[in-house]
Amino acid sequence: MANMFAFAESRGGALRRVAFEAVSAARALADASGSGEVHALLAGAPGIASLAPELGKYGADVVIVVEHAGLANANSEALAATAAERIRSGGYRAAIFSASAQGRDLAPRVAAKLGQSMAADVTSFGLAGDALVVTHPAYAGKVIATLRLTGSPAIVTLRPGARAAVEAPRAARVESAQPAADPGASKVVVKEMIAGGGAKLDIGDAPVIVSGGRGLKSADNFKLVEDLAAAFGNAAVGATRAVTDDGWRPHSDQIGQTGRQVSPDLYVACGISGAIQHIAGMRNSRTIVAINKDKEAPIFKVADYGIVGDVIEVLPVLTAAVKEARAKG
Amino acid sequence: MKIAVCIKRVPDMETRFKIAASGTAVDAAGLKYDMSDFDGYAVETALQLNEKQGPGETVVISLGPDVVQEQLRKALSMGADRAVQLKADRVPADGLAIARALAAELQGGGYDLILFGRQAVDSANATVGPMTAELLGLPCATAVSTLEIANGRATARRDLEGAAEIVEFPLPAVVSVDEGMPRARYPSLKGIMAAKKKPLEVKPAQLGDEHITIEKLELPPERAAGRIVGEGAAAVPELVRLLHTEAKVL
Ligand SMILES: Cc1cc2nc3c(=O)[nH]c(=O)nc-3n(C[C@H](O)[C@H](O)[C@H](O)COP(=O)(O)OP(=O)(O)OC[C@H]3O[C@@H](n4cnc5c(N)ncnc54)[C@H](O)[C@@H]3O)c2cc1C
Ligand SMILES: Cc1cc2nc3c(=O)[nH]c(=O)nc-3n(C[C@H](O)[C@H](O)[C@H](O)COP(=O)(O)OP(=O)(O)OC[C@H]3O[C@@H](n4cnc5c(N)ncnc54)[C@H](O)[C@@H]3O)c2cc1C
């Protein structure tokens, strides 16, 4: 029997999906080890405590709530100190963070504070005696590594979306705590938060991604990609590096080796050649559709379904057909 | 400014990797190597900062066996002033062990800025930079897509999923660079000649304990062969039918 720690990531006063994934992963480890408890750390501005029951739904037995005005924006130094302090005193067997931008920033600092090694960006995990055995995609997703991490607590970051959160409801006990370092004393200060366009889905969360490449010919033609994404209703827009380099889309939309790695249910590649560096970011999508005028384009080698044709001509027709199919239900 | 850049030697990701007979490494036969993409951006960032801001020094550091001298020489040919190899007979799989060795070298070096790549493109852990910062007790900003420095303070943008933040912090500091930062320049012939005379110091890496071992490496399952549904807009109805009935994503 062993207790597990999970970091419950929030932004702007709301929990992120990855928070539930981390809690749910910790739940699975606690259950596998016998009847251990899951303790989730929830930190934010005053009022964040109201989110604690949501974590109970995914299996948190205890929610450690740290409320402080200085935690309204991510405050890596104060959060890392607080998480490390709690992990040190709590005697946990494992500590789970998400491999999100915030989790990847936080977990290595916590690991270094505790003098513990960590496994990053894992897609699966299991306890095996005194080790935690994890899988981690390496070499641009072309190799899957199985790694053995010894030492307790085992610190890991879990790849977003790799393991869906499973409900395991319970009434979580709430414990209030103070930040272990004064958030006001942090040297790195968030001066400005730039919101990502309201309710717009992030490419890491979207079940469907419609991506455009240089075959779109101009920034204006990305309207056709956005229209198709809107027709799906649950889609985000992605891009190749050729397109982000030309400034047609922001760098944060780039998918690939030096961009984001995504694994949606459906990936629609529009006017994308399928360079190896692009495929590195989307090859784990469940279903891949490619539209390209060149039937020899390498993207067709990874696509489940291909249309050989001009994106400018095909996209509006596809958008209309998707709208119609969705209307029928 | 005195800037240190930590660079890692990685195989070319365009390779069709094979697993070595040991099952715990990729087959090294025929691999080509370069510095990790983001580390190239980091070297470029350092060079541009020092070119813009006047007299400074750019020091490149790599941990690994003697072959890493190739990447150190490349950084010198791009314009870095000197290089340090932290010699180890192999690169450990444990990022904390690497961070300890780097921190031991960087400690007391008087650096204003220490740059890392967001992540090594091969093992892709993104841990070594923030771990090193923590060990050195320095402020740290990870995965920045812009970086501005004035009057001993830095301002940087960090892209978060679906949002971004602008952070500000004092130097000395540790920064890891992401897409958005300048791409590595190509070394000029003059640069390559000059690099041969620049200092490259070799020191033993102080690695310490390791707690991660590679149990096995595997190739992911190949995707089943797909099919061309048809040509042009006429193929759309059939595609939509397949997405609905076969792939069940619509
Ligand atoms: C170190 C490094 C890292 C990189 N990282 C990334 C990364 O993270 N992500 C990434 O995407 N790239 C990355 N790249 C770049 C990558 O190698 C390719 O250059 C890039 O992906 C190409 O983008 P593209 O497919 O949009 O453009 P192109 O390769 O120019 O392809 C355009 C495609 O559109 C088709 N086309 C043209 N007109 C039409 C039309 N009217 N209708 C239909 N099809 C049409 C063409 O047949 C062609 O296949 C990286 C490169 C390097 C060297
Ligand atoms: C799955 C897997 C496979 C591996 N296969 C090999 C292999 O075949 N051969 C081998 O030698 N090692 C191998 N390693 C070890 C691996 O190279 C180390 O884990 C790595 O150096 C540090 O990894 P990282 O991904 O944490 O780096 P990251 O934390 O992703 O790197 C971030 C940044 O830290 C800096 N940095 C990282 N490593 C170094 C370094 N050595 N010197 C200077 N700066 C550095 C760079 O600025 C880099 O951009 C493997 C590791 C794993 C997990």
Domain assignments of chain A as residue spans, ordered by start: 4-185, 208-328
**Which chain A positions have a beta carbon within 8 Å of B228's beta carbon?**
295, 300, 306-308
The residues near B190 (Cβ < 8 Å, ≥ 6 apart) are none
**Predicted pLDDT of residue A90:** 96
Nearest-CA residue for ligand 1 atom 49 is: A273
Percent of chain B that is helix, strand, coil (3-state, to 5): 30, 35, 40
Q: Residues A238, A211: contact at Cβ < 8 Å?
A: yes
Query: Amino acid letter at A116?
Result: Q
Residue A287's contacts (CB-CB under 8 Å, 6 or more residues apart) are A265, A266, A267, A304, A305, B243, B247, B249
Q: How many CB atoms lie within 10 A of CB A127?
A: 16
Residue B214: inside a domain: no
Contact B26/B20 with Cβ under 8 angstroms? Answer: yes
Cα distance between residue A302 and residue B164, in whole Å? 32
Q: Which two tokens stand for residue A317?
A: 């027709």
- State pTM to two decimals: 0.95
Please state, as a whole number, how many other Cβ atoms lie within 10 Å of the Cβ of residue A128.
10
Structural domain for B44, as ranges: 2-204
In a domain, B228, yes or no: no
DSSP A4: E
Instruction: Decide if A221 contacts A246 (C-beta within 8 A).
Output: no
Q: Which residues line ligand 2 (CB under 6 A)?
A: A 136, 138, 145, 147; B 6-8, 25-26, 36, 38-39, 61-64, 90-91, 93, 95, 98, 116-117, 119-120, 123-129, 214
For the CA of B115, the closest atom of ligand 2 is 47
pLDDT in tens, B130-164: 999 999 999 999 999 999 999 999 999 999 988 99
Q: How many domains does chain B have?
A: 1
Q: What is the mean pLDDT of each run of 10 residues along chain B (250 residues)?
A: 98 94 95 97 98 94 98 98 97 96 97 97 95 98 97 96 94 97 97 97 94 96 91 98 95
Query: What CATH code would you report for A208-328?
Result: 3.40.50.1220
B173: Cβ–Cβ under 8 A, 6 or more apart, which residues? A187, A188, B113, B114, B133, B138, B139, B140, B141, B154
Q: CA A64, A158, A257: angle at the middle one, nearest 5? A: 140
Q: How far is A31 from chain B (nearest CA, A)?
A: 24
Q: Which of the listed residues B85, B123, B140, B219 should we mutate to test ligand 2's pocket, taking the one with most ligand atoms within 8 A of CB?
A: B123
pLDDT of residue A201: 84
B80 lies in some domain: yes
| Residue A215 in contact with ligand 1 by CB distance below 6 A | yes
Q: Which of B109, B110, B181 is nearest to B142 (CA)?
A: B181
Q: Do A4-185 and A208-328 fold alike per CATH?
A: yes
User: Locate tokens 């050195």: which residue?
Assistant: B136
CATH of A4-185, one of 3.40.50.1390, 3.40.50.10420, 3.40.50.620, 1.10.420.10: 3.40.50.620
Structural domain contains residue B94: yes
Helices (H), A91-191: 101-114
Asked if residues A65 and A179 have their Cβ atoms less than 8 Å apart, the reply is no
Token pair for residue A316?
């509006």
Residues of chain A with pLDDT under 70: 196-199
- The pLDDT assigned to A198 comes to 54
Residue with tokens 């390209």: A292
Cβ-contact A264, A162 below 8 angstroms: no
Read off the CATH number of the domain in which B55 is found: 3.40.50.620
Q: Would you say residue B245 lies in a domain? A: no
Contact check, Cβ <8 Å, A100/B166: no
